[in-house]
Amino acid sequence: MELEPIPADIADRYAKASEKGLKLRYVASVDAEGHAKVGLQEVGPDSPLYSLKGTDNAILITTGDYPSPMLIQGAGAGTRQTAGGLLNDIMLSI
């Protein structure tokens, strides 16, 4: 799996995307061979990822049977739930 680190110039990238009417989103993708990639991408208003707010997450599924993406969208964990999950993981590893 390829994971792009948070770029040092993220503020500049955000400003440049905004000037073009785009937003930055972390996007994960998996191809048919199972190769995964996660990184920062610019998305436009035509993307379902554009309108995400706060801790919302979205999954777009495109297959041979569903050439038009199927969208699953909902609230993400948020800070309190994430902190609780991390604490639970720490306690289980002791």
Q: How many helices (H) and strands (E) does the chain have?
A: 2, 5
Q: Are 59 and 28 in contact (CB under 8 A)?
A: no
Alpha-carbon distance of 45 to 63, in angstroms, equals 23
Expressed in angstroms, the distance from the first to the final Cα of the chain is 29
Show pLDDT as tens, one digit a residue, over the chain (94 residues): 777 788 889 999 999 999 999 999 989 998 889 889 888 999 999 999 999 998 888 998 888 887 788 899 988 877 788 788 888 888 888 7
Amino acid at 37: K
Domains and CATH numbers, the chain: 2-93 (3.30.360.10)
| CA 7 from centre of chain | 15
Distance in angstroms (rounded) separating the CA atoms of residues 2 and 7: 15
